[in-house]
Amino acid sequence: MLLEGFGSLMSLVYLGLLVLSIFCFVDAALRREDAYRAADKNTKQFWLIILGLTAVVNVLPLGLFFLVVAGLVADIVYMVDVRPALIRVGGGGRGGFRRGSSSDGPYGPYNGGR
């Protein structure tokens, strides 16, 4: 009984790792190539290969735990270091552009002459 609960807990952990790796891969694919260079990070192709391999390792039932841990480290590095730098350089958003308020003018927000 106890081992069955542990098995279902581990399957949820592996599912969470898979979702994280897929999110990181898709997010890296949607970022612009020049944002990687401007943020002084490795190239977009480098991160797509690393994060793609991480997703593949999480999908395949290899049983090589150290590959899963190495992939988790790559996902964490992307989420903590690379992604925030890309957002700062690209201005946020998926397309890399900033969305302003509807009251923003060409020189900043319009405050009604106050």
CB 96 within 8 A of CB 32: yes
Interior angle at CA 103, CA 99 and CA 107, nearest 5: 80
Q: What is the mean pLDDT of each run of 10 residues along the chain (114 residues)?
A: 67 90 95 89 93 91 82 94 89 52 61 62
- Long-range CB pairs of 65-71 (<8 Å, 24+ gap) are 68/14, 68/17, 71/17, 71/21
Specify the pLDDT at position 5: 63
Structural tokens at position 29: 């694919």
Specify the pLDDT at position 93: 54
Which DSSP symbol is given to 78?
Answer: I
pTM above 0.75, yes or no: no
- Tens of pLDDT, residues 41-72: 889 999 999 999 999 998 887 777 888 899 99
